[in-house]
Amino acid sequence: MFAKRVKEIEPFRVVEVLDRAKALEAEGRDIIHLEAGEPDFTTAQPIIEAGQAALGRGETYYSQAAGIPELRQAISNHYKLDYGLSIAPERIMVTPGASGALLLIAGLLTNPGDGMLMADPGYPCNRHFLRLVEGEGQLVPVGPEDRYQLKASMAADHWKPNTIGVMVASPANPTGEILTREELSDLYDLCASKNGHLVVDEIYHGLTYGEGAPSILEITDQAFVINSFSKYFGMTGWRLGWLVAPEHAVAEMEKLAQNLFISMSTMGQHAALAAFEPETRKILDARREEFAARRDYLLPELRRLGFDIPNEPAGALYIYAGISKFSNDGQQFCMDMLENHGVAITPGVDFGHHRSQEYVRFAYTTSIDRLKEAVRRMEAVLC
Ligand SMILES: Cc1ncc(COP(=O)(O)O)c(C=O)c1O
């Protein structure tokens, strides 16, 4: 009755966990939310005020398919200030979240039957976007020994006749792992040697707790880069992201965007302009410090409880933790934690197939006090 592709697109289980957690809360239960990958902070006040001002001015019409010129320029300035890079605003397209950018890239690059290599575990929607356009995500198993990242040598080993490129995220979801400059450069060299594409999802840039994450744009202007206002900028509900494309790809992407989206939220784009203002950046950087403090608290505590976390996740909002000491069924483990102990976490199966039942993902998107309470509840049952 419905198209075949729909059967092959799996549900995003974290949303199901979130729904169940909300249902339990509605029954009066106290649930600690460590499942959703979104900052718990409300959008910073200067951004909200800029959005309100835009509405007050009547910015309620469609805008350009590639985004309002002021915002493309502001993103270009951001690359100059934060990375020392000159990225022409013409190469920057504003999109409806990183999700919109992923859809555009899938539509632009994929012929039916084409495949893109990606890490397993990884962000699950990537392979579903490819499936939507009759392509496939070619999952490459990665583990703690690879810092859960897809490296060039592994991509070379898994490259098939129908492979058209590699898609990575750095920092990654669900592991928080970062690709070094050299690893990015090797990936780019591999893709170039195969006439393939390199797509780098940099949505968690700005949320790093050590040296920072290098951008592929420091290495080449021929990769596709995805970014978003959702995470560091704390604007998940506004649905705004961006992509940086090689110059020759922009006109065709814009054509796709015209058809798929017409435009992004116009008032949202005017609000996002305020995201780059120094006073906003101060707020966002303070929030990053708060995330760092939460990570620094939770990581040793989870290890103490017996979760297996061999590496230090250096970015994003997540800790990907092995549960072999407690269970070989991550879904059951998460269900039990939620239903019986009021701690909502995401099963590893949400992020791929490779040993995914042996893992769960903790998102440190709640206060340290609540993290302490989660640890207390888990300690009572696990230790
Ligand atoms: C790696 C990655 N890419 C893309 C997205 C989509 O984000 P958005 O559409 O909110 O920008 C997410 C959301 O969690 C993500 O983790």
238 SS3 class:
helix
pLDDT at 238: 98
Question: 98: CA distance to ligand 1 center in Å?
Answer: 5
- Computed over every residue of the chain, the mean pLDDT equals 97
Q: Which of 95, 230, 320 to mutate to test the pocket of ligand 1 (most atoms within 8 A of CB)?
A: 230
Residues with C-beta less than 6 Å from any ligand 1 atom: 37, 97-99, 123, 169, 173, 201, 203, 228, 230, 236, 241
Question: 100: CA distance to ligand 1 center in Å?
Answer: 10
Question: 291: CA distance to ligand 1 center in Å?
Answer: 18
Q: Is the CB of residue 343 less than 8 Å from the CB of residue 337? A: yes
Q: Which of 15, 103, 126, 203 to mutate to test the pocket of ligand 1 (most atoms within 8 A of CB)?
A: 203
pLDDT at 55: 98
Question: 203: CA distance to ligand 1 center in Å?
Answer: 7
Question: 318: CA distance to ligand 1 center in Å?
Answer: 13
pLDDT at 189: 98
pLDDT at 14: 82
DSSP class of 243:
E
pLDDT < 50 stretches in the chain: none
pLDDT at 11: 82
Q: Which domains does the chain have, with CATH numbers?
A: 4-43+280-382 (3.90.1150.10), 45-277 (3.40.640.10)
Q: How far apart are CA 32 and CA 25, in angstroms?
A: 10
Q: How far apart are CA 376 and CA 366, in angstroms?
A: 15
pLDDT at 337: 97
Question: 231: CA distance to ligand 1 center in Å?
Answer: 8
Phi-psi label, residue 342: left if phi above 0, alpha if psi -120 to 50, beta otherwise: left
Amino acid, single-letter form, for residue 12: F
The pTM is what?
0.97
Amino acid, single-letter form, for residue 184: L
